[in-house]
Amino acid sequence: MQNEIIIAGFGGQGVLFAGQLLAYAAMDEGKEVTWIPSYGPEMRGGTANCTVVIADEEIGSPLVRNPKAVLVMNLPSLDKYEPLVKEGGVLVLNSSMVPRGVARKDITVVLVPANEIAEELGDRRMANMVMLGGLLAHLEVLPVKAIEKALKDHLPARHQKLLPANIEAIQRGSKF
Protein backbone atom coordinates (compact mmCIF):
# COMPACT_ATOMS: atom_id res chain seq x y z
CA MET A 1 0.00 0.00 0.00
CA GLN A 2 1.40 3.36 -1.00
CA ASN A 3 -0.01 6.89 -0.80
CA GLU A 4 1.54 9.92 -2.47
CA ILE A 5 0.60 13.41 -1.34
CA ILE A 6 1.69 16.68 -2.93
CA ILE A 7 1.24 19.89 -0.93
CA ALA A 8 1.51 23.02 -3.03
CA GLY A 9 1.10 26.76 -2.53
CA PHE A 10 2.98 29.99 -2.04
CA GLY A 11 6.20 30.05 -0.04
CA GLY A 12 5.27 31.13 3.50
CA GLN A 13 1.97 29.19 3.62
CA GLY A 14 3.56 26.38 5.60
CA VAL A 15 3.53 23.96 2.68
CA LEU A 16 6.86 22.33 3.55
CA PHE A 17 6.09 22.09 7.27
CA ALA A 18 2.70 20.48 6.64
CA GLY A 19 4.49 17.83 4.60
CA GLN A 20 7.12 17.30 7.26
CA LEU A 21 4.41 16.84 9.86
CA LEU A 22 2.85 14.10 7.73
CA ALA A 23 6.28 12.51 7.41
CA TYR A 24 6.93 12.61 11.16
CA ALA A 25 3.52 11.07 11.86
CA ALA A 26 4.11 8.34 9.27
CA MET A 27 7.53 7.54 10.75
CA ASP A 28 6.12 7.39 14.28
CA GLU A 29 3.42 5.00 13.02
CA GLY A 30 6.18 2.69 11.77
CA LYS A 31 5.64 3.41 8.07
CA GLU A 32 8.19 4.01 5.32
CA VAL A 33 8.11 7.65 4.26
CA THR A 34 9.91 10.13 2.03
CA TRP A 35 9.58 13.93 2.03
CA ILE A 36 11.06 15.86 -0.83
CA PRO A 37 10.73 19.61 -1.42
CA SER A 38 10.83 21.44 -4.68
CA TYR A 39 13.97 23.41 -4.09
CA GLY A 40 15.32 26.17 -6.19
CA PRO A 41 16.18 29.85 -6.11
CA GLU A 42 12.82 30.58 -4.47
CA MET A 43 11.56 33.15 -2.00
CA ARG A 44 8.56 34.02 0.15
CA GLY A 45 5.61 34.54 -2.17
CA GLY A 46 7.01 32.27 -4.90
CA THR A 47 5.58 28.81 -5.43
CA ALA A 48 6.62 25.94 -3.18
CA ASN A 49 5.64 22.32 -3.00
CA CYS A 50 6.66 19.05 -1.46
CA THR A 51 5.89 15.41 -2.14
CA VAL A 52 5.31 12.95 0.69
CA VAL A 53 5.21 9.22 -0.05
CA ILE A 54 3.94 6.92 2.70
CA ALA A 55 4.19 3.16 2.21
CA ASP A 56 4.44 -0.20 3.95
CA GLU A 57 7.52 -1.34 1.99
CA GLU A 58 10.81 0.22 0.84
CA ILE A 59 9.94 3.32 -1.20
CA GLY A 60 11.28 3.54 -4.74
CA SER A 61 10.74 6.93 -6.33
CA PRO A 62 10.22 9.86 -3.96
CA LEU A 63 8.54 11.72 -6.86
CA VAL A 64 5.41 10.74 -8.77
CA ARG A 65 3.57 12.12 -11.77
CA ASN A 66 0.08 11.20 -10.55
CA PRO A 67 -0.29 11.56 -6.78
CA LYS A 68 -3.12 9.97 -4.79
CA ALA A 69 -3.83 13.34 -3.13
CA VAL A 70 -3.01 17.01 -3.55
CA LEU A 71 -3.40 19.86 -1.08
CA VAL A 72 -3.79 23.03 -3.09
CA MET A 73 -3.15 26.32 -1.30
CA ASN A 74 -3.29 28.74 -4.26
CA LEU A 75 -4.53 29.15 -7.85
CA PRO A 76 -1.26 28.38 -9.71
CA SER A 77 -1.07 25.09 -7.82
CA LEU A 78 -4.66 24.20 -8.78
CA ASP A 79 -3.89 24.88 -12.45
CA LYS A 80 -0.79 22.70 -12.22
CA TYR A 81 -2.06 19.76 -10.16
CA GLU A 82 -5.78 19.39 -10.95
CA PRO A 83 -5.04 17.38 -14.12
CA LEU A 84 -2.46 15.22 -12.33
CA VAL A 85 -4.39 13.78 -9.37
CA LYS A 86 -4.78 10.02 -9.78
CA GLU A 87 -8.28 8.87 -10.80
CA GLY A 88 -10.28 8.27 -7.63
CA GLY A 89 -7.83 10.43 -5.67
CA VAL A 90 -8.40 13.44 -3.42
CA LEU A 91 -7.96 17.16 -4.09
CA VAL A 92 -8.20 19.39 -1.01
CA LEU A 93 -8.66 22.99 -2.06
CA ASN A 94 -8.11 26.09 0.05
CA SER A 95 -11.25 27.84 -1.15
CA SER A 96 -10.27 31.06 0.65
CA MET A 97 -7.40 31.47 -1.81
CA VAL A 98 -8.75 30.03 -5.04
CA PRO A 99 -11.49 31.86 -6.95
CA ARG A 100 -12.50 28.95 -9.18
CA GLY A 101 -14.04 25.51 -8.77
CA VAL A 102 -12.71 22.13 -9.83
CA ALA A 103 -13.80 20.63 -13.15
CA ARG A 104 -12.75 17.01 -12.58
CA LYS A 105 -15.56 14.62 -11.67
CA ASP A 106 -13.45 11.48 -11.17
CA ILE A 107 -11.79 12.61 -7.94
CA THR A 108 -12.98 13.61 -4.49
CA VAL A 109 -12.85 17.39 -4.14
CA VAL A 110 -12.78 18.83 -0.63
CA LEU A 111 -13.36 22.59 -0.42
CA VAL A 112 -11.96 24.05 2.80
CA PRO A 113 -12.07 27.80 3.58
CA ALA A 114 -8.78 27.31 5.39
CA ASN A 115 -7.76 30.96 5.78
CA GLU A 116 -11.11 31.99 7.32
CA ILE A 117 -11.01 29.10 9.78
CA ALA A 118 -7.39 29.78 10.69
CA GLU A 119 -8.17 33.47 11.24
CA GLU A 120 -11.13 32.53 13.44
CA LEU A 121 -8.72 30.47 15.52
CA GLY A 122 -6.38 33.43 15.83
CA ASP A 123 -3.71 33.07 13.16
CA ARG A 124 -3.93 32.77 9.38
CA ARG A 125 -0.67 30.81 9.40
CA MET A 126 -2.54 27.76 10.69
CA ALA A 127 -4.32 27.38 7.34
CA ASN A 128 -1.89 24.55 6.51
CA MET A 129 -3.09 22.60 9.56
CA VAL A 130 -6.76 23.11 8.60
CA MET A 131 -5.93 21.74 5.14
CA LEU A 132 -4.16 18.70 6.62
CA GLY A 133 -7.29 17.97 8.63
CA GLY A 134 -9.30 18.13 5.40
CA LEU A 135 -6.96 15.60 3.78
CA LEU A 136 -7.03 13.10 6.63
CA ALA A 137 -10.82 13.03 6.63
CA HIS A 138 -10.87 11.85 3.00
CA LEU A 139 -7.67 9.82 2.51
CA GLU A 140 -7.09 6.76 4.63
CA VAL A 141 -3.41 7.32 5.23
CA LEU A 142 -2.93 8.22 8.89
CA PRO A 143 -5.27 8.77 11.83
CA VAL A 144 -5.81 12.41 12.91
CA LYS A 145 -4.46 11.38 16.32
CA ALA A 146 -1.10 10.46 14.76
CA ILE A 147 -0.75 13.95 13.28
CA GLU A 148 -1.68 15.55 16.61
CA LYS A 149 0.93 13.43 18.37
CA ALA A 150 3.56 14.30 15.76
CA LEU A 151 2.75 17.98 16.24
CA LYS A 152 3.20 17.59 19.99
CA ASP A 153 6.48 15.69 19.61
CA HIS A 154 8.11 17.74 16.86
CA LEU A 155 6.86 21.32 17.25
CA PRO A 156 9.86 23.37 18.43
CA ALA A 157 9.73 24.27 22.14
CA ARG A 158 9.19 27.97 21.38
CA HIS A 159 5.99 27.13 19.49
CA GLN A 160 4.53 24.65 22.00
CA LYS A 161 2.12 27.31 23.29
CA LEU A 162 0.46 27.24 19.86
CA LEU A 163 -0.24 23.50 20.14
CA PRO A 164 -3.92 23.63 21.27
CA ALA A 165 -4.85 26.10 18.50
CA ASN A 166 -3.06 23.99 15.88
CA ILE A 167 -4.80 20.82 17.03
CA GLU A 168 -8.13 22.63 16.85
CA ALA A 169 -7.22 23.75 13.32
CA ILE A 170 -6.64 20.13 12.27
CA GLN A 171 -9.92 19.05 13.85
CA ARG A 172 -11.87 21.87 12.19
CA GLY A 173 -10.41 20.90 8.83
CA SER A 174 -11.28 17.25 9.31
CA LYS A 175 -15.01 18.14 9.47
CA PHE A 176 -15.06 18.97 5.73
Partner 1 sequence: MAKELLKGNVAIAEAAIRAGLQAYFGYPITPQTELLEWMSARMPELGRAFVQAESELGAINMVYGAACTGARVMTSSSSPGVSLMMEGISYIAGTELPAVIVDVMRGGPGLGNIAPAQADYNQIVHGGGHGDYNLLVLAPSSVQEAVDLTVLAFDLAEKYRTIVVVLLDGSLGQMMEPAELPPMKPLKTAYPEWAARGEPGDSRRVLSSIYLDPPAEEVANVRILNRWKEVEANEVRYKEYMLEDAKIAVVGFGTSGRVALSAARAARAEGIPVGLLRPVTLNPFPNKQIERLAETVDSILVVEMNAGQMLEDVLRDVKGRVPVEFFARVGGIVPLPDEILNEIRRMASQPLSTTGHPRDRWLKRMPQIMA
Q: How far is CA 148 from the centre of its chain?
A: 14
Contact 38, 48 (CB under 8 A): yes
Under rule CB under 8 A, residue 102 binds partner 1: no
Residue 11: name the closest of 60, 61, 77, 87 by CA.
77
Under rule CB under 8 A, residue 62 binds partner 1: yes
Residue 23 C-beta: closest distance to partner 1, Å: 6
Under rule CB under 8 A, residue 63 binds partner 1: yes
Site map 22..61 versus partner 1, x via CB under 8 A: -xx--x----xxxxxx-xxx----------------xxxx
Under rule CB under 8 A, residue 171 binds partner 1: no
- Residue 60 vs 101, nearer CB to partner 1: 60
Q: How far apart are CA 22 and CA 71, in angstroms?
A: 12
Q: How far apart are CA 128 and CA 19, in angstroms?
A: 9
Secondary structure (3-state) at 50: strand
Secondary structure (3-state) at 94: strand
- Residue 11 vs 37, nearer CB to partner 1: 37
The residue from 13, 20, 77, 96 that contacts partner 1 (CB under 8 A) is 20
Q: Which letter does DSSP use for residue 82 in this model?
A: G
Chain residues binding partner 1 by CB under 8 A are 20, 23-24, 27, 32-37, 39-41, 58-66
